[in-house]
């Protein structure tokens, strides 16, 4: 007979709000714009633990992920998940049947590939974006979500440009936009990516033929920006377009320094 | 009119054997055991550059990836790629039409998810494995490939066990098996993973119910191993099963130390 | 004549609370328990930017670091800094003379090496610990600090032990303790490390001769712990010993899984 | 009485050329240009294991590091080590007294901080460089060393410049130079760093006041370079200046792409 050590009282009685599994890679499948899309996200799933219990049953969290995934696999056509947050909520609903808790969180990290047109030759380019979605069920049963996108762009320094007859230093920059909002608030990760990508000196592209490269170069010089400018533009657009608590963080990998520069804002 | 700076003679004349793109994430699709499997690998593609030219045309390498991918997407049913090395070779074949070179390499890194049965309850568990495949076309036209798998397992120390009445320290360990061989040598990544995974004190599982956990615990104590033992067993099995140059590296994240221990062997 | 683009009004008027430099590695020197101790920390320094200015003068933040360091180097004997937070505050004091701002933050990440005695043979072992110190000056001039330590230890699972006649799975675990408190609150990083290190199934050691290894093995079996137990013990001890807001995060690199388990608590 | 499991014959008899410890952080001290310099490098130490023995005695490798370090600490003035390779060789000499072997390797990774003058204002700037030194004793007793430096600089694209009336894309680039040579060959890491740093479009600086920034901007536009150009210049200079097998790898974090470009050469 199995001893359930987890159910015993612990020596030290402290409520733990977050106990679970992390860095779990598994296969997931969602229906996204009419296509079945398979990918391998990284999961973190956590629930709370009352002060009178020694531990949670970790395997039940894993089962909730695995079963949600195979449900998607088996009934592919009619029941497939339509978004990462839908997937996360399905996992929480399975946990509810398996493990008592007051609060629960599911976080899913993945990479989206979006189709873009290059700026001059109009060729198709596939662009990768790191995204993360968290769904959090509070102890009152209310559900909120956190949506994050991370986009690679660039900055052309306006200060160096003003002091060097139009010449300046340019570099890769990375911006993150995070929105915490109600679960039912309809916000597409693609729209968040668009807000961020359009706020750099120029977007970047995986494929650039010479005319495209020229267009990107011209765009950067016509649109010089500090990290501060990028951060302000993202937060301004995001506030106009999305409802929720906003966090913006821009890091520029300065080409003239060995360190990075950063601008951060909350709204 | 475009100036092709790449075609000009460089100031310093040196042959460069490897020039190209790296850390490029894109979507790929292969047919694997009868199912279309979509994933987002990371690519490195490189060709050589003769000493009389200043640079390669990087965008042609990107196009070779992109076109190979969309070919797979468009003619999904009949022409889809059947393995990572097939995909890599298709990219090399496209480069041949776009850019002169004597040697070419394509490297693809990804994560495979394989289905396993848990050791006692026989439940289905999905296990992630990091894999990398390189295809290298030499200047004589011959083609070789490099296959790598990285597997997470564990070690139970036989020395501590012998000195502590069966008690010992146990820890997560990570083993890599790399095989360099002819392109036509038929070696499945799954078989390489099996060789590595069966050489630890025990395999690990994403999902383990209590009876499964007990089975894994018993297995580890019945099968204590140094990193040296794991390395020897992998190289022994790999030599018997696969033709090619073999490299094995095992790292154990010691539970009693803050550092790791390592064993490495070539065959 | 230099154009100060930073002083111009930006197109979009948004207050930015955090603008600065990050990932800057430099040499630092503190006097620590009577010895001059040189190391190479990583710095992040940020100030706020009012909505009517386009940018901050990044180089003044770098100068504030550089000058604080060389001051320490030059007047080594009498004026050397005595702690990481002292160093961080000196940098803030220099920024005050160089750049207007309402709030300022300095974060310093480093590795401490502490001397330990091995548990049986009493040999000297040098143990590494990742630490981070942040000093934050608020707009009202008040100063708080954030102290973080990250310690490598281990967990021996009490559930597997109860179900396998004393056999269990054991693994490396990593715990972080973070305290946010008044600048003048006297908390030594060494004491925080001690709180964390004593809360695992056993501390780990860089050097272990066979009798020491046996002692650590025995200790782990006598002291089985879930990550939940480790988290509770750290937060319990920290609350009794230190004043401030506490955050504890424990991650266990499960030897029977490919993923990690986590427990987190705030107090 | 202790059982020495390591001395037993293993089930599978395979010679292992590299067995040891890795990712061990400890404090080190060398005398460098007349100053005692303390830092916290990461060590990897490995020896070979004959096919008739089951394992090596890992703790003896750790002791060899620890004792070499404390020797340096205790007799600071007269006996301190003068270089990283001197330190590595001292560790090998200690291993010789503790553990039989035919070959031995010690690898030490660290960060050097070098003093530079900024290009216009002549201010002092402290620049960080990642370095690694390996000392390898072969089975015939001969000793070779491997010296590696990693330097952050930048590239301004000559192709975009030629096609955009002097405008171009610029980005951070990272170059590595590795030299394998006889132990007695006198090569300073600082000289290797100088070779690499002078081969970019421009060196980078931690501190840059506006006139310095202008000088770096001008320098980049006067000196446009592909990664191929940077690689050729490093290998050309290194061949003229240093004796040994040379490996050069340059990665440019393209500001117009999300991926990186790479050039690599051996000489």
Residues D171-212 pLDDT 10s? 999 999 999 999 999 999 999 999 999 999 999 999 999 999
Stronger pLDDT, A33 or B41, i.e. the higher one: B41
What is the rounded CA–CA span in Å between residue A251 and residue B7?
A: 35
A216–D256: do the CB atoms touch at under 8 Å? Answer: yes
The interface residues of chain B toward chain A in range 52-81, judged by CB-CB distance below 8 A, are 59, 62-63, 66, 69-70
pLDDT digits (tens, 9 = 90+) for C60-89: 999 999 888 776 555 544 455 678 999 999
Calculate the dihedral angle through the C-alpha atoms of D106, D107, D111, D115, rounding to the nearest 10 degrees.
60
pLDDT digits (tens, 9 = 90+) for C155-176: 999 999 999 999 999 999 999 9
Average pLDDT, chain D: 93
Tell me the shortest Cα–Cα distance from B190 to chain C, in angstroms. Answer: 17
Q: Which residue of A has its CA nearest to D261?
A: A206
Using alpha carbons only, how large is chain C's radius of gyration in Å? 22
Comparing CA positions, the residue from D207, D96, D202 lying closest to residue D152 is D202
* Segment among A179-188, B23-32, B150-159 with least mean pLDDT: B23-32
Contacts of A159 in chain D (CB under 8 A): 210, 213
Tell me the shortest Cα–Cα distance from C258 to chain B, in angstroms. Answer: 6
Stronger pLDDT, B159 or A39, i.e. the higher one: B159
pLDDT level of residue A38 (50, 70, 90 thresholds) = confident
Query: Which of C164, C204, C218 lies closest to B217 in CB terms?
Result: C164
**Residue given tokens 């269990």 in the structure block:** C168
Interface size, chain B vs chain D, as Cβ–Cβ contacts under 8 Å? 159
CATH fit for domain B110-267, picks 3.20.20.140, 3.40.50.10860, 3.30.1130.10, 3.10.270.10: 3.10.270.10
Q: In this complex, which chains have at least 3 CB pairs below 8 Å with chain A?
A: B, C, D
Does B228 reach chain D within 8 Å, measured CB to CB?
yes
pLDDT level of residue C37 (50, 70, 90 thresholds) = confident
Contacts of C221 in chain B (CB under 8 A): 167
pLDDT digits (tens, 9 = 90+) for B206-244: 999 999 999 999 999 999 999 999 999 999 999 999 999
D152–A258: do the CB atoms touch at under 8 Å? Answer: yes
What is the rounded CA–CA span in Å between residue D110 and residue D42?
A: 7
Give the pLDDT of residue A62: 96
DSSP code for B75:
T
D68-72, Cβ contacts within 8 angstroms, sequence gap of 24 or more? D68/D94, D69/C126, D69/D26, D69/D27, D69/D28, D69/D29, D70/C124, D72/D28, D72/D29, D72/D30
Tell me the shortest Cα–Cα distance from B243 to chain A, in angstroms. Answer: 31
Give the pLDDT of residue A29: 78
pLDDT level of residue D77 (50, 70, 90 thresholds) = very low
A160–D220: do the CB atoms touch at under 8 Å? Answer: no
Comparing CA positions, the residue from C4, C17, C6 lying closest to residue C101 is C17
What is the rounded CA–CA span in Å between residue C14 and residue C52?
A: 8
pLDDT digits (tens, 9 = 90+) for B165-211: 999 999 999 999 999 999 999 999 999 999 999 999 999 999 999 99
Would you tell me the crossing angle of helices B227-241 and B189-197 to the nearest 10 degrees? 140
Assigned token pair, B69: 């991918």
Contacts of B63 in chain A (CB under 8 A): 207
Is A36's pLDDT higher than 80? Answer: no
Q: Determine contact, residues C88/C133, Cβ cutoff 8 Å.
A: yes
Query: Which of A10, A15, A262 lies closest to C229 in CB terms?
Result: A10
Give the pLDDT of residue B106: 98
Tell me, rounded to whole angstroms, the distance of Cα A161 from its chain centroid. 33
The percentage of residues in chain C with a pLDDT greater than 90, rounded to a whole number, is 86
Does B266 reach chain A within 8 Å, measured CB to CB?
no
Give the pLDDT of residue C82: 72
pLDDT digits (tens, 9 = 90+) for A93-146: 999 999 999 999 999 999 999 999 999 999 999 999 999 999 999 999 999 999
Q: Which residue of B has its CA nearest to D158?
A: B5
Give the domain ranges of chain C.
Answer: 8-102, 110-267
The interface residues of chain C toward chain A in range 5-34, judged by CB-CB distance below 8 A, are 5-6, 10-25
Q: Which residue of D has its CA nearest to B235?
A: D14
Residues forming beta bridges with residue C179, ordered by sequence position: C147, C246
Calculate the dihedral angle through the C-alpha atoms of B228, C253, B151, A60, rounding to the nearest 10 degrees.
140
pLDDT level of residue C32 (50, 70, 90 thresholds) = low
Stronger pLDDT, C29 or C171, i.e. the higher one: C171
Q: Can you tell me whether residue D241 is helix, strand or coil?
A: helix
Sign of CA dihedral D155, D261, B61, B181: positive
CB-side neighbour CA atoms (13 Å) of D68: 30
Is A75's pLDDT higher than 90? Answer: no
The interface residues of chain C toward chain B in range 155-184, judged by CB-CB distance below 8 A, are 159-160, 163-164, 166-172
Query: Can you tell me the mean pLDDT for B14-39?
Result: 86
Does B125 reach chain A within 8 Å, measured CB to CB?
yes
Contacts of D128 in chain C (CB under 8 A): 25-26, 40
CB atoms within 10 A of CB C23: 18
In CATH, the number for domain D108-267 is 3.10.270.10
Q: Which residue of D has its CA nearest to C111?
A: D40
Does A126 reach chain B within 8 Å, measured CB to CB?
yes
* Segment among B123-127, C9-13, D166-170 with least mean pLDDT: B123-127
- H/E run at residue C211: helix C210-222
Give the pLDDT of residue A78: 45
Q: Which residues contact B97 (CB under 8 A, 6 or more apart)?
A: none
Give the pLDDT of residue B79: 52
B236–D3: do the CB atoms touch at under 8 Å? Answer: no
- Tell me whether domains C8-102 and C110-267 share a fold: yes
Give the pLDDT of residue A80: 54
- Written in H, E and C, the secondary structure of D86-153 is HHHHHHHHHHHHHCCCCCEEEEEEEEEEEEEECCCCCCEEEEEEEEEEEEEECCCCCEEEEEEEEEEE
pLDDT level of residue B150 (50, 70, 90 thresholds) = very high
pLDDT digits (tens, 9 = 90+) for C106-126: 999 999 999 999 999 999 999
Contacts of A129 in chain B (CB under 8 A): none
Does D105 reach chain B within 8 Å, measured CB to CB?
no
pLDDT level of residue A77 (50, 70, 90 thresholds) = very low
Phi-psi region of B166 (alpha: psi -120 to 50; beta: other; left: phi over 0): left
* Segment among A29-38, C221-230, D16-25 with least mean pLDDT: A29-38
Assigned token pair, C231: 């988290």
What beta strand segments (E) does B102-253 contain? 104-117, 124-137, 143-156, 170-182, 202-203, 245-252
The percentage of residues in chain B with a pLDDT greater than 90, rounded to a whole number, is 86
Q: Determine contact, residues A257/C10, Cβ cutoff 8 Å.
A: no
Q: Determine contact, residues C196/C174, Cβ cutoff 8 Å.
A: no
* Segment among A225-229, B124-128, D37-41, D116-120 with least mean pLDDT: D37-41
Is D38's pLDDT higher than 60? Answer: yes
In this structure, whether the domain defined by A115-267 belongs to CATH 3.40.109.10 is answered with no
What is the rounded CA–CA span in Å between residue A260 and residue C187?
A: 31
Is D31's pLDDT higher than 80? Answer: no
Contacts of A12 in chain C (CB under 8 A): 229, 232-233, 236
Stronger pLDDT, A24 or A37, i.e. the higher one: A24
Query: Can you tell me the mean pLDDT for D102-121?
Result: 95
pLDDT level of residue D76 (50, 70, 90 thresholds) = very low
What is the rounded CA–CA span in Å between residue B19 and residue B48?
A: 6
Superfamily (CATH H level) for C8-102: Urate Oxidase; (3.10.270.10)
Query: Can you tell me the mean pLDDT for A218-236?
Result: 98
The percentage of residues in chain C with a pLDDT greater than 70, rounded to a whole number, is 94
Comparing CA positions, the residue from C232, C236, C239 lying closest to residue C179 is C239
Is A262's pLDDT higher than 90? Answer: yes
Q: Provide the ipTM.
A: 0.95
What is the rounded CA–CA span in Å between residue A221 and residue A233?
A: 17
D171–A255: do the CB atoms touch at under 8 Å? Answer: yes
């Amino acid at each position: 007979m199995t001893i359930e050590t987890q159910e015993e009282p612990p020596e030290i009685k402290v409520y733990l709000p977050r106990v679970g599994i992390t860095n779990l890679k598994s296969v997931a499948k969602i229906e996204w714009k009419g296509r079945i899309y398979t990918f391998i996200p990284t999961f973190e799933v956590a629930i709370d633990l009352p002060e009178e219990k020694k531990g949670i049953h970790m395997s039940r969290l894993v089962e909730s992920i695995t079963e949600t995934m195979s449900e998607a696999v088996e009934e592919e056509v009619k029941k497939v998940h339509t978004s990462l947050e839908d997937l996360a909520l399905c996992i929480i609903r399975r946990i509810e049947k398996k493990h008592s808790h007051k609060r629960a969180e599911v976080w899913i990290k993945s990479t989206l590939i979006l189709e873009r047109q290059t700026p001059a030759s109009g060729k198709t380019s596939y662009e990768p974006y790191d995204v993360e979605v968290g769904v959090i069920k509070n102890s009152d049963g209310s559900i909120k979500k956190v949506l994050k996108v991370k986009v690679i762009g660039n900055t052309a320094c306006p200060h160096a440009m003003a002091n060097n007859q139009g010449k300046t230093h340019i570099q890769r920059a990375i911006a993150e936009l995070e929105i915490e909002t109600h679960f039912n608030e309809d916000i597409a990760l693609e729209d968040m990516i668009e807000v961020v990508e359009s706020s750099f000196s120029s977007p970047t592209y995986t494929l650039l033929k010479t005319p495209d490269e020229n267009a990107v170069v011209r765009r950067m010089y016509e649109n010089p920006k500090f990290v501060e400018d990028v951060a302000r533009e993202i937060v301004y657009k995001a506030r106009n377009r999305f409802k929720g608590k906003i966090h913006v963080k821009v890091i520029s990998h300065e080409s003239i320094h060995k360190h990075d520069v950063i601008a951060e804002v909350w709204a």
